[in-house]
Structure 1
Amino acid sequence: MHLRTTHTFLISNSAEFRTRLLIWAKKYEEAVFLDSNFHKDSYGTFDAVLAVDSNYSLSSNSNSFAKLKLAQEEKKDWLFGYFSYDLKNELESLESNNYDGLHFPELYFFQPKKIIILNGNKAQFLYLEGISYEAEEDFKAILELTTEVHLKPPKTNIKIRLRIHKDAYHNKANLFLKHIHRGDIYEANFCQEFYAEATEIEPVSTYFNLNEISEPPFATFLKFDANYLLSATPERYLKKIGNKVISQPIKGTAARSDDAKEDVALKKNLKLDTKERAENIMITDLVRNDLSRFAKKGTVTVEELCEVYSFRQVHQMISTITALVDKEENSIDIIKATFPMGSMTGAPKIAAMKLIEDLEETKRGLYSGAVGYFTPTGDFDFNVIIRSILYNKTQKYVSYSVGSAITANSDPEKEYQECLLKAKAMRKVLESN
């Protein structure tokens, strides 16, 4: 059991403090920053959290869930990190042999020496006991930081390339449709990668620029060694508070408009769109089924079905499904029963994942995975890694992937355009560097 000391400080400007906090975190080898961007979330625990400086870390490519469970039992403390999409191969008889330019481990978690939690005008510093005296001087150092130099990325000439070109995308989308019409699957989330080789980026300023465009509720900056994730994800995968588990899949996307009247119409049209609703309902059913594997009988509830929420760049259709679990239910077993999230696979899950492996060109890795944390009591909160830039500094490889759900009513060209819409923010940030 690792004891932590809590120091609470008052902050006058939370937005400015967040910026300084992430710049201050640059000096550490390991960092996870999770930011709600002031979105009001009925299941939110804090506005933002930063975890830095590893006391213990676990990087795994095999038997990962068992290793994590052991770490959780031994440390009985906060653990921050990620599950990559390809952990599916440890859960089912599946494989991932597609091209991988990033080379991230399948699972990575660390126990931070320092955790800083922001809520309203309060900053709580949860430091391991041996270093609790550093909280005061760290708070001062954060306040004294100058931000200007870190907010503008250095000029780079980034050439984004497509792993799947438009004609090939159409052909593959049609192959998915063939399998759907044959009854092999109902829905598949088909993803494609955009990438740049021999490229260097400045991760912190790139993250700030990406976040400014989208301001999503689950923004994430993750760094360990040479591996970086800069994420503007709007989606929660799974959260556990006490004996309640919450999943909030997103399926259904529409563009925003600068014209207020047109924007309202776009939102309304999404809400009524039968194809988008069908996509969302299919995944909601899949999530209900996943949750029922460990939930108390009769407690799986759809709290919201096909609700449309507006973000800076897009309108999204979100459903909220909850369940109650026994106190003894292990957190990692809950994740194993629901992973990977249905919104990124399709339905039925295993058949969709097999087809995805056959038709996609790249190994998904952390894209389609989840980043988040476990608390000392086994509660947790994880997002879905979409709308994200991944960067391996050593390999000088930059990547972002986007996908859309192919269903019986899909038009390959419309799906292709939806992918380009989702890719817009990442492309803009990288190419305007």
Structure 2
Amino acid sequence: MNRTSKIISISNITVLKEQLLSWSQQFEEVVWLDSNSYERQNYPEYEAILAVDAFTSLKTDYQGAFDQLEEYQSTIKDWIFGYLSYDLKNDTERLTSKNDDKLDFADLHFFQPKKLFLLKGNTLEILYLGMVDDEIDEDFEEITATKPPETKSQAQPLSIKLKIHKEAYKEKVRSMLEHIYRGDIYEANLCQEFYAAGTINPLAIYKRLTAISSPPFGTYLKLEDQFLLSASPERYIKKIGSKIVTQPIKGTAKRGVDEKEDTAFAKALQENSKERSENIMIVDLVRNDLSKTAQKGSVIVEELCEVYPFKQVHQMISTVTSTLSLGISPVDAIRSTFPMGSMTGAPKLRAMQIIESLEESKRGLYSGAVGYFTPDGDFDFNVVIRSILYNAENEYISYSVGGAITAGSDPDSEYEECLLKAKAMRAVLEGDL
């Protein structure tokens, strides 16, 4: 579908990003994707993207969801934005999700925006569908006149509750270890939910969360009364022409108080045999997933167990790429790898079955993916971690964290890792910032 394009040079990107995000709040459908100028990101493309105001949309449960998405994407042949929830596993495998769910997000939701903004370097490209292209100049004037609201603390700090208490979580880790010792699985990601009842200002919470973390895959998603506020450091999958890129994260360490301590923590993570084995197991799983749609011999590990610094933690990241075989559709390239290896385990199917039996909350959008398709069928999706989910109608706020359990896992250490990953979300919700 044709779009009218206008290109504008920007002098102050930071201010414009604030203005775009504030201006977007008038719309029912908003996807804001922000790279936060993260310098070490491989395969960067846009500094930020804003998509608002649905012209068409697809919202469905898991049954036949990927087929519906393929039809939608191939028919529209335009930019579409949205999410894939973790529970689309029930579409790709004979699985179910019966755990508790208070968020009520659809399993899949995409929309075609009337208004689209692409920020790259110092250049903003505005792309509007024909029926609204006469609004470009007026909208840009309104955007640049917007004064971002002050992000005040919570009027009433929320009371965060645990779905699974410490000793119960450690017992679940021990149950997972029994499966590993029996040879059912090598590794699995075990998650737990923290939640609160009440109301929040989603935009203010998102700004504080990303200020703490400056993540390369920050996301503010609003679909009517449902919100995702994400400080994700992880790319799930990207398509550039016929090239597929995945970048699983496995391995976390805290930052030091000074350069010497910080360097020591990074070095310790780099040399930690347990963390490396976790990462390598997932790399093997990802290589296998990519091989289903790849040209023979094209699956390459470009980067193995590299340690990347983020504001709050160090992360161990690997980069695996492939070249798609002829005739593979964009949606099939995603379907064959979903859910991502870093949030499931190996072997993937058995790991997902065990995860479902041990966890107490339906994951939904958590550990799913948010991103977009271009008109040419390229795409880019993150992994929904380090994220707050909010259903304004239900007044329910949720964040989940987890970690990979392997034969070398210690229940106490796994619980402490969860608390480290949850630190930023807890701080912004409890009003400690």
Task: Sort the TM-score into its range (normalised by shorter chain).
Answer: over 0.9
CA drift of 1:138 comes to 1.2
Q: Verify the 8 A CA contact 2:154 2:431 in the aligned structure 1.
A: no
Cα gap change, 1:127 to 1:153, in 2 (>3 Å): farther
Deviation per residue, 1:285-324 (Å, 9 max, x gap): 0000000001000000000000000000000000000000
CA drift of 1:130 comes to 2.0
TM-score (norm 2): 0.98
Q: Verify the 8 A CA contact 1:153 1:202 in the aligned structure 2.
A: no
- What does 1:60-99 correspond to in 2, within 5 Å? 60-61=60-61, 62-99=63-100
Letter in 2 for 1:129: G
SS at 1:151's partner residue? Answer: coil
Letter in 2 for 1:102: L
Deviation per residue, 1:2-24 (Å, 9 max, x gap): 10011111221111111111110
Distance 2:112 2:146 in 1: 26
SS at 1:232's partner residue? Answer: strand
Q: Verify the 8 A CA contact 1:233 1:388 in the aligned structure 2.
A: yes
CA drift of 1:58 comes to 0.8
Letter in 2 for 1:133: D
Q: Verify the 8 A CA contact 2:85 2:365 in the aligned structure 1.
A: yes
Residue 430 of structure 2 corresponds to residue 431 of structure 1: yes
Deviation per residue, 1:125-183 (Å, 9 max, x gap): 01112211211111111111112x34224412300000000110111100000110110
- What does 1:16-27 correspond to in 2, within 5 Å? 16-27=15-26
| 2:339 corresponding residue in structure 1 | 340
CA drift of 1:327 comes to 4.3
CA drift of 1:225 comes to 1.1
SS at 1:409's partner residue? Answer: coil
Distance 2:276 2:157 in 1: 41
| 1:59 corresponding residue in structure 2 | 59
Residue 132 of structure 2 corresponds to residue 131 of structure 1: yes
- What does 1:194-209 correspond to in 2, within 5 Å? 194-197=194-197, 199-209=198-208
| 2:375 corresponding residue in structure 1 | 376
| 1:225 corresponding residue in structure 2 | 224
Distance 1:73 1:260 in 2: 50
Deviation per residue, 1:353-401 (Å, 9 max, x gap): 0000000010000000000000011100000000000000000000000
SS at 1:211's partner residue? Answer: helix
Q: Where do 5+ consecutive residues of structure 1 fail to align?
A: none
Distance 1:18 1:156 in 2: 28
Q: Verify the 8 A CA contact 2:266 2:314 in the aligned structure 1.
A: yes
| 1:12 corresponding residue in structure 2 | 11
Cα gap change, 1:203 to 1:49, in 2 (>3 Å): same
Q: Verify the 8 A CA contact 1:246 1:323 in the aligned structure 2.
A: yes
SS at 1:114's partner residue? Answer: strand
Task: Please identify runs of 4+ aligned residues in structure 1 that moved more than 4 A.
Answer: none
| 1:420 corresponding residue in structure 2 | 419
Residue 185 of structure 2 corresponds to residue 185 of structure 1: yes
Distance 1:9 1:302 in 2: 38
Q: Verify the 8 A CA contact 2:154 2:429 in the aligned structure 1.
A: no
Distance 2:100 2:127 in 1: 40
Distance 1:327 1:127 in 2: 32
Distance 1:37 1:327 in 2: 35
Distance 1:73 1:123 in 2: 27
| 2:236 corresponding residue in structure 1 | 237
| 2:48 corresponding residue in structure 1 | 48
| 1:349 corresponding residue in structure 2 | 348
| 1:302 corresponding residue in structure 2 | 301
Q: Verify the 8 A CA contact 2:153 2:431 in the aligned structure 1.
A: no
Which deviates more from structure 2 when the two are superposed, residues 353-362 or residues 135-144?
Answer: 135-144
Distance 2:4 2:16 in 1: 21
Deviation per residue, 1:182-240 (Å, 9 max, x gap): 1000001000000012x000001110000000001000000101100000000000000
Distance 2:220 2:376 in 1: 24
Deviation per residue, 1:268-290 (Å, 9 max, x gap): 00000000000000000000000
| 2:114 corresponding residue in structure 1 | 113
Letter in 2 for 1:160: I
| RMSD after superposition | 0.9
Q: Verify the 8 A CA contact 1:207 1:231 in the aligned structure 2.
A: yes
Distance 1:153 1:20 in 2: 20
Distance 2:136 2:154 in 1: 32
Letter in 1 for 2:387: S
Q: Verify the 8 A CA contact 1:158 1:431 in the aligned structure 2.
A: yes
Letter in 1 for 2:394: Q
Distance 1:406 1:191 in 2: 10
Distance 1:264 1:165 in 2: 33
| 1:255 corresponding residue in structure 2 | 254
SS at 1:192's partner residue? Answer: strand
Distance 1:136 1:150 in 2: 26
Query: Structure 1 vs Structure 2: percent identity of aligned residues?
Result: 57
Q: Verify the 8 A CA contact 1:306 1:317 in the aligned structure 2.
A: yes
SS at 1:382's partner residue? Answer: strand
TM-score (norm 1): 0.98
Letter in 2 for 1:189: N
SS at 1:113's partner residue? Answer: strand
Q: Verify the 8 A CA contact 2:292 2:336 in the aligned structure 1.
A: yes
Q: Verify the 8 A CA contact 1:8 1:123 in the aligned structure 2.
A: yes
Residue 334 of structure 2 corresponds to residue 367 of structure 1: no
Q: How many residues align?
A: 430
Distance 1:210 1:132 in 2: 34
Q: Verify the 8 A CA contact 1:180 1:186 in the aligned structure 2.
A: yes
Distance 1:343 1:154 in 2: 33
Letter in 2 for 1:131: V
SS at 2:342's partner residue? Answer: helix
Distance 2:223 2:330 in 1: 24
Q: Verify the 8 A CA contact 1:23 1:150 in the aligned structure 2.
A: no
